[in-house]
Amino acid sequence: MKPYREMSKEELASEIEQLRAEYRKYQGMELNLNMSRGKPCKEQLDLSMGLMDALNSDADLMCEDGTDCRNYGVLTGIQEAKVLIGDMMENNPDDIIIYGNSSLNVMYDTIARAYTHGIMGNKPWCKLDKVKWLCPVPGYDRHFGITEYFGFEMIPVPTDENGPDMDMVEKLVSEDDAIKGIWCVPKYANPSGISYSDDVVRRFARLKPAAKDFRIFWDNAYGIHHLYDDRQDYLIEILAECKRAGNPDLVYKFASTSKITFPGSGIAAMATSPNNMADIVKTMTRQTIGHDKVNQLRHVRFFGDIHGMVEHMRKHADIIRPKFEMVEDILQENLGELGVGSWTVPKGGYFISFDALEGCAKDIVAYCKKAGVEMTGAGATWPYGKDPKDSNIRIAPTYPSLADLKIAATLFTLCTRLVSAQKIYEEM
Ligand code: PMP
C-alpha cells in the first residue's frame, strides 16, 4: 500500500470506508484490554515466588554482622542488601541507602526534603519565588506529577536517540539559578527505550549549574532490564563520572527491584555521594528508625548475589521479549509503509514510544478506548499532560497475554490508520 499522503482523495475515501467497517467489527467484540501501564504480567511475578520460600518460621534472620532483622535499627539498610543492590546499580555499597519498596516514593521524598529544609544548607525551595525543573520529553508521567504537585515550572527538553538535548540543558542550568533539577531515565528510558550516549552522560557529569543545590535525578529504573543477551545498552556510571569531573555531589541516583521481583514489595535504593548521604541521613533519622530489613534479607537470600539477579532477569526477558517483538511486527506490518507514525525499537525496559502524525494522538487513544483498549493517555509523556504536537503515545506491551496483545496492538494500528487517514483527508 502507498503512503496515505500520496493517495488521491478518492483512494483515501475508500480506505477510510474500509477502516471504519473494520473498526465497527472490533467495537462489536466488546474487548477489555489494557496497554497503558508498565506492569509485569502474572508469569513475570510468578518468577519471584521463591521470595516466599526464602524465609520461613525456622529462618535465621540474623545478618552477617549480627543485626537481627526483626528488630529496629540500621537506618540505611543491611550490609548484604547494600552489596547486592550496589552490584545491581554499579555502585559501591558504601554509597547506597536502602529504603522501602518504592523508588518513586524516594524521589518524592528527596524533593520534599529540599522543599522544606533545603539541600546542604541552601535555602529551602519553599522559600524561593520560583523553582524550575527540566523535563526531558517524552518522559515519565509520574515524575512530572511530582514536580507539578510542588508547583515547579516544568521546562520540556527535547530528546533524541542519544538522550536529552545537552546544548539546551547546559545553557539553561548555567544561566538560571531557579532551575533546581532535571528528571533523567538514562537507560531504556520510559517511554522511548533509548539509553544515553557516553557523550551525554559525560556532559551531565560536567554541568556547571548556576544553582548550588541543583541535582540530577538519575532514575535508573531499568538498569538491568535487557530484552536481549547479545544486544545490550551500556551506560557510563554517573556517580563515578561526576567524581572524575570534580562534581561529586551533582547526582541522586535511584533504582528499585520493582520490575525484578514484585512492584508491590520490592526494595528501593539511592546511590549518592558521601556529602549528599550525610545531608539525607540528617532528615532520615527524624523520619524512621529503619526500613523493612526482613524484606531486604529475603531479597538477598533469594538471589544470593548479582549473578542470581542477572539470571533472573533473563527469565523476565524470555517472557516479555516476544511481546515487544510482536507489537513491533504488527506496527511494521500495518503501518510501515503508510507514513502515519514512527516508533522506537528498544533493547530493554518496559515501553515502546510511538509518534503519530501531529494532532492525532488524542483521537487514536480515544478510538482505542471506544473499542475497549486502554492506552496511556495521550499527552501523559509531557509535563502537565500537554503534548504540544499531540503526537506521542506510550505503548506498554508487558502486561497483557500474547493473545490479548495481538488484538490490542492490531486495533491500535487500525485506529492509527483511521485517525490519520481522516486527518489527511480533511486537510486535502
Ligand atoms: N521510575 C520509572 C522510570 C518507572 O518507569 C517506574 C515504574 N513505572 C518507576 C520509577 C517506579 O518505580 P518504583 O516502583 O520503584 O516506585
Rounded to 5 degrees, φ, ψ at 261 are -110, -105
**How many Å lie between the centroid of ligand 1 and the Cα of residue 130?**
27
* pLDDT score, position 187: 98
Does residue 220's CB lie within 6 angstroms of at least one atom of ligand 1?
A: no
Count Cβ neighbours within 10 Å for each residue of 396-413 and write b for 16 or more, e otherwise.
Answer: bbbbbeeebbbbbbbbbb
Report the C-alpha gap between 289 and 287 in whole angstroms.
7
Does residue 254's CB lie within 6 angstroms of at least one atom of ligand 1?
A: no
Does residue 263's CB lie within 6 angstroms of at least one atom of ligand 1?
A: yes
337 within a domain of the structure (yes/no): yes
Residues 271/47, Cβ–Cβ less than 8 Å: no
List the CATH number of the domain containing 108.
3.40.640.10
Q: What is the 3-state secondary structure (H, E, C) of the chain?
A: CCCHHHCCHHHHHHHHHHHHHHHHHHHHCCCCEEECCCCCCHHHHHCCCHHHHHCCCCCCCECCCCCECCCCCCCCCCHHHHHHHHHHHCCCHHHEEECCCCHHHHHHHHHHHHHHHCCCCCCCHHHCCCCEEEEEECCCHHHHHHHHHCCCEEEEEEEECCEECHHHHHHHHHHCCCEEEEEECCCCCCCCCCCCCHHHHHHHHCCCCCCCCCEEEEECCCCCCECCCCCCCCCCCHHHHHHHCCCCCCEEEEEECCCCCCCCCCCEEEECCHHHHHHHHHHHHHHCCCCCHHHHHHHHHHHCCHHHHHHHHHHHHHHHHHHHHHHHHHHHHHHCCCCCEEECCCCECCCEEEEECCCCHHHHHHHHHHCCEEECCCCCCCHHHCCCCCCEEEECCCCCCHHHHHHHHHHHHHHHHHHHHHHHHHHC
pLDDT in tens, 375-426: 999 999 999 999 999 999 999 999 999 999 999 999 999 999 999 999 999 9
Measured from the Cα of 104, ligand 1's closest atom is 16
Same domain, yes or no, for 90 and 156?
yes
pLDDT along the chain (428 residues), means of 10: 96 98 96 93 98 96 96 97 98 98 98 98 98 98 98 98 98 98 98 97 98 98 98 97 98 98 98 98 96 98 98 98 98 97 98 98 98 96 98 97 97 98 97
**How many Å lie between the centroid of ligand 1 and the Cα of residue 257?**
10
Report the share of the chain in percent with pLDDT over 70.
100
pLDDT in tens, 45-89: 999 999 999 999 999 999 999 999 999 999 999 999 999 999 999
**How many Å lie between the centroid of ligand 1 and the Cα of residue 110?**
15
54 within a domain of the structure (yes/no): no
Same domain, yes or no, for 26 and 88?
no
**How many Å lie between the centroid of ligand 1 and the Cα of residue 139?**
12
- The alpha carbon dihedral of 18, 24, 29, 33 has a sign of positive
Residue type, 218: W
* pLDDT score, position 37: 85
Please name the residue whose Cα sits nearest to atom 2 of ligand 1: 221
Report the C-alpha gap between 305 and 313 in whole angstroms.
13
* pLDDT score, position 1: 86
Range of the structural domain that residue 9 is part of: 4-44+310-427
Measured from the Cα of 255, ligand 1's closest atom is 15
End position of a domain, from candidates 245, 271, 304: 304
Same domain, yes or no, for 291 and 319?
no
**How many Å lie between the centroid of ligand 1 and the Cα of residue 36?**
14
* pLDDT score, position 243: 98
Residues 406/323, Cβ–Cβ less than 8 Å: no
Question: Please, which residues have CB within 8 angstroms of residue 413's CB and are 6 or more apart in sequence?
Answer: 330, 331, 334, 335
Same domain, yes or no, for 187 and 279?
yes
**How many Å lie between the centroid of ligand 1 and the Cα of residue 104?**
6
56 within a domain of the structure (yes/no): no
51 within a domain of the structure (yes/no): no
Does residue 184's CB lie within 6 angstroms of at least one atom of ligand 1?
A: no
Measured from the Cα of 103, ligand 1's closest atom is 15
Mean pLDDT value across the chain = 97
Same domain, yes or no, for 324 and 241?
no
End position of a domain, from candidates 252, 274, 304: 304
pLDDT in tens, 266-290: 999 999 999 999 999 999 999 999 9
List the CATH number of the domain containing 345.
3.90.1150.10
**How many Å lie between the centroid of ligand 1 and the Cα of residue 242?**
24
**How many Å lie between the centroid of ligand 1 and the Cα of residue 221?**
6
80 within a domain of the structure (yes/no): yes
Rounded to 5 degrees, φ, ψ at 367 are -60, -40
**How many Å lie between the centroid of ligand 1 and the Cα of residue 67?**
30
Cell 539553561 identifies what position?
172
Does residue 104's CB lie within 6 angstroms of at least one atom of ligand 1?
A: yes
**Ligand 1: which of 190, 253, 261, 395 to mutate, judged by most atoms within 8 Å of the beta carbon?**
190
Distance set, CA 274 to CA 166, 249, 378 (Å):
27, 8, 41
Same domain, yes or no, for 16 and 115?
no
Does residue 396's CB lie within 6 angstroms of at least one atom of ligand 1?
A: no
Same domain, yes or no, for 40 and 141?
no
**Of 137, 80, 102, 83, nearest to 391 (Cα)?**
137
Same domain, yes or no, for 243 and 325?
no
**How many Å lie between the centroid of ligand 1 and the Cα of residue 268?**
10
**Ligand 1: which of 105, 142, 235 to mutate, judged by most atoms within 8 Å of the beta carbon?**
142
Report the C-alpha gap between 298 and 101 in whole angstroms.
13
**How many Å lie between the centroid of ligand 1 and the Cα of residue 414?**
30
Give the count of beta carbons closer than 10 Å to the beta carbon of residue 425: 15
Tell me the sheet residues that pair with 134.
155, 182
49 within a domain of the structure (yes/no): no
φ/ψ region of 188 (left if φ > 0, alpha if ψ in -120 to 50, else beta) reads left
Same domain, yes or no, for 223 and 334?
no
Task: Provide the grid cell at 105.
Answer: 516514593
Does residue 390's CB lie within 6 angstroms of at least one atom of ligand 1?
A: no
Please name the residue whose Cα sits nearest to atom 1 of ligand 1: 221
Report the C-alpha gap between 164 and 197 in whole angstroms.
10
Same domain, yes or no, for 85 and 226?
yes
How many domains are contained in the chain? 2
Does residue 221's CB lie within 6 angstroms of at least one atom of ligand 1?
A: yes
321 within a domain of the structure (yes/no): yes
Same domain, yes or no, for 383 and 415?
yes
End position of a domain, from candidates 245, 276, 304: 304
Same domain, yes or no, for 94 and 162?
yes
50 within a domain of the structure (yes/no): no
Would the pTM of this model clear 0.80, i.e. be above it?
yes
